[in-house]
Amino acid sequence: MKLQIQTGLNNKILRKKAEEIKNISDEKEFIEELKKFLKKSDDWVWVASPQVWFSKRIFLAQFDKKNTTVVINPKILKFSEKKVVWKEWCLSLPWIFWDVERSKKIVVEYFNENWKKIKMELKWFWAIVFQHEFDHLEGVLFFDKLVNWEFEMDKKMTEKDLEKLWIKV
């Protein structure tokens, strides 16, 4: 199985709500491939399955090169009212690096790769990244949530227009 990052504002897989996992044993091979794929990178921290053409509710978090967390069928149970604006970037939209507003703290629930239910509170960086990857599973890209966009979010801009802006910056 060869995994490759998918890009594009209008990519059909990236814009589709991912399917819930019903049986973890059906996904074991994919999870192992995704772990290998993530470990090859020097700077990626997280990757969602729709980013590699697999529209299932799975993403991986790599806190360091030795420990990878598998997040299956995640839910965000609570968002803090306190928000933070953070510069985000995405493997699927590599030409954009911009401000996005996210909840500063969230409470999440998901299954790990052993099908154990995990519930935890995440703050700051990890809360922001979890929300970003969760959005991928919902068919939402961070471009949809940009703030302080000086061009007033011209939705008619094409990917080529955005790439030109990136190069000029």
49 part of a folded domain: yes
Number of domains observed in the structure of the chain: 1
Q: 9 φ, ψ to 5°?
A: -60, -35
80 part of a folded domain: yes
Q: Which of 133, 138, 150, 163 is catalytic?
A: 133
How confident is the prediction along the chain (169 residues), in pLDDT tens digits per residue? 678 787 878 888 889 999 999 988 889 989 888 888 877 776 667 888 888 888 999 999 876 667 788 999 999 999 999 999 988 888 788 777 788 899 999 999 999 999 999 999 999 988 999 999 999 999 998 878 877 665 544 545 555 665 554 433 3
155 by Cβ neighbours in 10 Å (0-12 / 13-18 / 19+) ranks as exposed
138 part of a folded domain: yes
15 part of a folded domain: no
For tokens 């960086």, the residue is 125
12 part of a folded domain: no
CATH value at residue 140: 3.90.45.10
Q: What is the pLDDT of residue 167?
A: 37
5 part of a folded domain: no
Assess whether 133 carries a catalytic annotation: yes
118 part of a folded domain: yes
Q: What is the pLDDT of residue 115?
A: 94
